[in-house]
Amino acid sequence: MTVSLEQEINPWEAQSARFDAATKKLNLDEGLVKILRYPNRELIVHIPVSMDNGKLEVFTGFRVQHSIARGPAKGGVRYSPDVTLDEVRALASWMTWKCAVVNIPFGGAKGGIICDPHKMSPGELERMTRRYTAELVEFIGPEKDVPAPDMNTNEQVMAWMMDTYSMHMRQTVTAVVTGKPINIGGSRGRREATGRGIMITCDQAIKKFGLRPENTRVIVQGFGNVGSNAARLMHEAGYKIIGIIEVDGSIYTKKGIDIEALWSYREKNRTLAGFTEAEKADPTELFQSECEILIPAATENQITSRNAAKIRCKILAEGANGPTTAAADEILAANKVFVIPDILCNAGGVTTSYFEWVQDRQGYFWKESVVNEQLADIMISSFNDVVRYADTHSVNNRIAAYMLAIDRVAYTVRQRGIYA
């Protein structure tokens, strides 16, 4: 069946296509499939904010809790003009499967506010964040739903959310959010965790191809928190980062980019443009250049049926959520691209968020070396679980990851039974 590009890039449709394929392979009961498909709760809130110019503005916010079968819901909050309920709904379900793939005791949630944070002052962002949190206060909490940073949100936003929730509870509740500053209950290693998880899964993938890091060319799309940390950690591990793709400048050099120098340049100049130790590159051509590892670490729908045949990597390591559409999966599989699916590849962030939640609840905080060691254990065992599942069931890695995750959640739902 031919679908339009609009249908193909709809994140909820993309999630549903993978879900349907996985549940058919698992041969699950029809009623159980319905339970797993739909979110547990969807909230829409309208947030009045007093702007700096004295006017009142009303922003629309969402929080979708997809599943609480295996534990509290868990997922980020994003601020963007492009936030939609379909997107948040899809991201919440992806979080359910992501937590289940790495076998941590959370369900999935996601939140977002339709706004342009780049056009808002810190004061406006704080007032909006606090009112959004207040609207959700009865639905979130350490045992209910634990928000985290996502696109255009950060440690400061989490500090505001934690403080607002704590004021309503009349006590400090650090475990209500993760991704906080370290001095108020954040975890060491959290900021680098998603990038580190990408590196760990790439380490496992290159072993399957008989590659060594120094002979492995890597192109990274996106130089935000995820992409920059993945690039820096992989550069330190000996990988040859030959290209970086960013909206403010894409660069390439076949000898490999000095990521530390690029990092310092970006810190100083707030842009990659003008970096003289690599050539300026066309972002589309660079994305389709030959390499061993391509890491899309920007936004959704970067690889579609329109460009999938032009992707020339051996390993596609999905640092972003939903960078590849369901229609593109078939093309990549036909071209024998080894995909490390997003719900596995970028699960280092939620895994270390779990560590942060545990530390907050214990009131005891770990050394960064312990965090990284625990993260490596979980990411390596999860990678092996997915690859083994793919081999056993003769499916690609993405469907294997979905099957593994859905099977774990379904097993828990069956054990708990249906309350009626």
* Catalytic center residues: 110
- The strand order across the sheet containing 107-114 reads 41-50, 56-65, 107-114, 73-80, 145-149
Task: Please compute Rg for the chain using Cα positions.
Answer: 21
- In order of 74, 142, 351, the CA distances from 159 in angstroms are 17, 15, 20
Residue 293 three-state SS: strand
CA 391-226-125 angle, 5° bins: 135
Task: Label residue 208 exposed, middle or buried (CB < 10 Å: 0-12, 13-18, 19+).
Answer: exposed
User: Do residues 175 and 361 make contact, with C-beta atoms less than 8 angstroms apart?
Assistant: yes
Q: What is d(CA 339, CA 336) in angstroms, rounded to the nearest whole number?
A: 9
Residue 142: how many other CB atoms lie within 10 Å: 16
Tokens representing residue 237 in the block: 């591990």
End-to-end CA distance of the chain: 39
Q: Which two tokens stand for residue 346?
A: 């970028």
Cβ(232)–Cβ(223) under 8 Å?
no
